[in-house]
């Protein structure tokens, strides 16, 4: 067998292998979180590159100074989970949804009474510093005892750097509220027009 034949076979094998890799990457499997030996979840490192779906805000100024969640919630969905939701209207096992907490910006141009600041665009609420990171995961196999297979984690609420791992909150801390009030499988799709626009399309 001459070198030309060997090169041709190698090229064909390379194409076949590449095709197998592409087929695997396009198989629709949702990328899953990583877990430590003790069951703690590893903090995602690239969540700011995930699909950004919105940033709800319930400021203290509009809640008698006692808002349960006074920060901006920058919410990101892992891309393969987002694609699955867009195609089927359902959240797949392995779905990861990250929520980064961001304080309202403070400064001399902001009023203490309502927390609003004046900028060139007008009076409003603007983002300040990162203060926390949370992660929601659906896995009906790993978390078969949890309502809907959903679990909720926090990597800290005091700014960066965040913790590298986290243990799940007790079910009663989060699941019951999501189960009672969220529109779609424990997820508050009613607050995110990006999700409503793509759901099952």
pLDDT along the chain (201 residues), means of 10: 47 39 50 97 98 96 91 98 98 98 94 91 96 98 96 96 96 86 96 96 78
- Do 186 and 179 form a contact (C-beta atoms < 8 A)? yes
Task: Tell me if the bond preceding 161 is cis, omega within 30° of 0.
Answer: yes
Number of residues in the chain: 201
> In this structure, what DSSP letter does residue 135 have?
E
CA distance 59 to 36: 35
pTM above 0.75, yes or no: yes
Instruction: Give the separation between CA 170 and CA 151, rounded to whole angstroms.
Output: 8
CB 74 within 8 A of CB 55: yes
| pLDDT at res. 13 | 43
Sign of CA dihedral 10, 14, 15, 20: positive
What is the model's pLDDT at position 1?
54
Which pLDDT score is estimated for 2? Answer: 52
Instruction: Give strand ranges (E) for the chain.
Output: 41-42, 51-54, 72-77, 96-104, 117-119, 122-124, 127-138, 150-154, 165-166
């Amino acid at each position: 067998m001459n070198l030309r034949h060997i090169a041709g076979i190698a090229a064909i094998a390379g194409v076949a292998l590449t095709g197998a890799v592409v087929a695997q990457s396009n198989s629709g499997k949702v990328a899953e979180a990583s877990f430590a030996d003790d069951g703690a979840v590893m903090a995602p490192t690239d969540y700011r590159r995930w699909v950004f779906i919105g940033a709800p805000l319930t400021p203290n100024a509009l809640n008698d100074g006692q808002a349960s969640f006074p920060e901006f919630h920058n919410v990101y969905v892992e891309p393969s989970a987002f694609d699955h939701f867009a195609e089927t209207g359902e959240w797949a096992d392995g779905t990861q949804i990250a929520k980064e907490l961001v304080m309202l910006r403070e400064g001399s141009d902001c009023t203490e009474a309502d927390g609003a600041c004046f900028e060139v665009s007008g009076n409003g609420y603007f983002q300040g510093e990162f203060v926390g990171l949370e992660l929601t995961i659906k896995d009906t196999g790993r978390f078969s005892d949890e309502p809907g297979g959903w679990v909720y984690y926090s990597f800290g609420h005091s700014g960066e750097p965040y913790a590298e791992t986290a243990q799940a909150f007790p079910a009663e801390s989060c699941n019951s509220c999501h189960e009672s009030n969220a529109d779609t499988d424990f997820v508050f799709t009613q607050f995110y027009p990006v999700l409503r626009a793509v759901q099952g399309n």
